[in-house]
Amino acid sequence: MADSATTSRFHDVVIVGAGAAGVGVAVTLRHAGIDDLVLLDRRGVGASFAAWPEETRFITPSFPTNSIGMLDLNSVAIGTSPAATLGVEHPTGREYASYLRRLAQFFELPIALGAEVLDATSIDGGFRLRLPEGNLRAKHVIWAAGEFQYPRLGGMPGSEHCVHTATIERYEDVDGDDLIVIGGYESGVDAAYHLATGGKRVRLFDRGRPWRSETSDPSVALSTYSAERMRDDRFVDRVALHPNTAIASVHPADDGYVVTAVGGERFETQVSPLFAGGFEGSHGTVAELFERRDDGFPLLSEHDESTITPGLFLCGPAVRHGNQSFCFIYKYRQRFAVVAKAIATSLGLPAEALEIYRTWGMYLDDLSCCGQECVC
Ligand SMILES: Cc1cc2nc3c(=O)[nH]c(=O)nc-3n(C[C@H](O)[C@H](O)[C@H](O)COP(=O)(O)OP(=O)(O)OC[C@H]3O[C@@H](n4cnc5c(N)ncnc54)[C@H](O)[C@@H]3O)c2cc1C
């Protein structure tokens, strides 16, 4: 594995980001016979996972099912399984990062670390990527820089007084005995659970009631893992749920902070509220190279390519098609072979080896593998 910056070569493919999406799609490109590729990451392989709060675990369970041709839900490469590698069902972020590092070593992926892409420009039938150390050229670019390192901090007056859950190292170290958590989806419930099991009281606010959703799609409804944890006695005793309570603002007060709901109700707290308000996502860095959907996500062709910048692909949780959100690993990995096949075809490679992806139930051509209006 390369461990330092970039070269001046014109690569067939540059992948920006060595997280689950970048590593997974790189392995798939290799299966497609594409050799001239490089992954760039400003931190390290699996860096976002390694930065999760220490107590946070995967909500999607890992289980080794390779023997019958099914991928572990958290696997990003055929034949590999985080469950088998790590020996745990719900890995922590640090454990999962070590799975990704082992994949990168095993598949001998060429990775340049400490390589931060500042922006990308479409130029002369390819791309110029700007890095602090200089420029890098590529015929195709796969944007896989994720969301975690781009937390949503704004949008609410006073959000600067809050602590985003993505910046917490350990819930055990959070100050205060009575905390407010804003945002009641997975990260908010995860925060409340760890704080409550650590003996603290929590008030959990959400504009809706995600813990009572009618759908079974974990992109919308709370996962089973979180639902189970919400039934833990310590959660039931110490967490007060405030559904349908959108927070309008947070203001400093004499003795802490005042959190005001849209309806005018005020809640006091002595310590900074925790904000589990999601992520802006890294695609903003290359926003001008994509058309935007009405929901703000990049508009993609059926090959997950930009509709206005040929050669630029998106991989990872920001992928959207119609009403389908690919925000979990087991969802967005379905698109790796589609992207690899499109790039192989553009390079004049047959990509026959990718046929194996079909036998593992993965997309290869388009969105038709599900064969139905998606309710997955
Ligand atoms: C608390 C939490 C729990 C989650 N639990 C689950 C779960 O149980 N199951 C599941 O499927 N999903 C889960 N997710 C979602 C999952 O973590 C994400 O889908 C996943 O991290 C996305 O992978 P990625 O490779 O797209 O992004 P990342 O893992 O963030 O990787 C992106 C990489 O790009 C690098 N990078 C960023 N910007 C640049 C740049 N400009 N230049 C160079 N490099 C750059 C970063 O250093 C990083 O290594 C969870 C997310 C969170 C926050």
Q: What is the pLDDT along the chain (376 residues), one digit of tens a residue?
A: 343 445 567 999 999 999 999 999 999 999 999 999 999 999 999 999 999 999 999 999 999 999 999 999 999 999 999 999 999 999 999 999 999 999 999 999 999 999 999 999 999 889 999 999 999 999 999 999 999 999 998 778 999 999 999 999 999 999 999 999 999 999 999 999 999 999 999 999 999 998 887 777 777 789 999 999 999 999 999 999 999 999 999 999 999 999 999 999 999 999 999 999 899 999 999 999 999 999 999 999 999 999 999 999 999 999 999 999 999 999 999 999 999 999 999 999 998 999 999 999 898 886 654 444 444 3
* Distance from C-alpha of 127 to C-alpha of 141, rounded to nearest angstrom: 7
Q: Does 332 reside within a domain?
A: yes
Say if residues 73 and 48 touch (Cβ distance below 8 Å): no
Q: Which two tokens stand for residue 72?
A: 């572990």
Ligand 1 pocket test: which of 54, 129, 149 has the largest number of ligand atoms within 8 Å of its C-beta? 149
Q: Ligand 1 centre and the CA of 281: distance in Å? A: 10
CA distance to 117, 180, 315, 370, per residue, from 17 (Å): 9, 33, 10, 28
Do 172 and 209 have their domain in common?
yes
Q: Do both 112 and 82 map to the same domain? A: yes
Domain count, the chain: 2
d(CA 139, CA 262): 49
Last residue of a domain, one of 272, 299, 317: 272
Are 214 and 329 members of one domain? no
Residues 106 and 37 in one domain: yes
**237 in the same domain as 177:** yes
Say how many Å lie between the CA of residue 146 and the centre of ligand 1.
Answer: 5
What residues make up the domain containing 327?
10-149+279-359
State the CATH number of the domain containing residue 196. 3.50.50.60
Is 253 contained in some domain? yes
Q: What angle, 0 to 180 degrees and rounded to 10, lies between the N-to-C axes of helices 93-106 and 20-31? A: 20
Q: Do 164 and 47 sit in the same domain of this protein?
A: no
The reply to whether 140 and 284 lie within a common domain is yes
Both 102 and 38 in one domain: the answer is: yes
Inside any domain, residue 373: no
If you take atom 30 of ligand 1, which residue's CA is the nearest one?
A: 146
Q: Which residue type, as a one-letter code, is found at position 189? A: V
Does one domain contain both 131 and 166?
Answer: no
254 lies in the same domain as 142:
no
User: Which protein residue's CA is at the shortest distance from atom 27 of ligand 1?
Assistant: 146
- The Å distance, Cα 143 to ligand 1 centre, comes to 12
- Domain end residue (candidates: 272, 303, 334): 272
On whether residue 83 sits in a domain, the answer given is yes
Q: What residue owns the CA closest to ligand 1's atom 14?
A: 328
